[in-house]
Amino acid sequence: MKKVWSGEVVEHESEFLSWHGFKSYPTPVQKPHPPILIGGTTTKTLQRVVSAADGWYAPSDSQELLTEKIGELKQMAALAGRSFESIDITTNWRIAVHPDALPELEDLGITRAVVLLGATGESDPKKAIDLIASRAGL
């Protein structure tokens, strides 16, 4: 992806992809490229996050799993010589289920919480946005 986002002609040959003379437009506004997030919880996934990504899209199913996986990610980053703080962590905030979870997520090192409007329990989008803003202290 980084090659494609560069705006240069791309030559790439691999087991699954063969590009020759490929050029993609428009190029991203963000430089050098948009953040690369990798989601998942396997050991291999976390290794890829440490070695090749800007951030991790973490599970929101259980705080225990999230805490465990953040611990693993910290260890892997340290072993690879990468600062854990350089890894942006994103997760979903299930605001209707855990309306006051933001401080807990922040304490865990979560840098971005995504809220789907439908996850607020509100059918009116404006009310959903207002609810998110009030819970986030905005």
pLDDT per residue, tens digit, the chain (138 aa), is 888 888 889 888 989 989 889 888 888 899 888 999 999 999 999 999 999 999 999 988 788 899 999 999 999 999 999 999 999 999 998 888 888 888 989 998 999 999 988 888 888 999 999 989 998 888
pTM tops 0.85, yes or no: no
Domain ranges (residues) in the chain: 1-34, 35-136
Residue 119, SS3 per DSSP: helix
> Mutual orientation of helices 63-80 and 43-52 as an angle, nearest 10°?
50
Q: Is 38 exposed, middle or buried (0-12, 13-18, 19+ CB in 10 A)?
A: middle
Fold designation for 35-136: Rossmann fold (3.40.50)
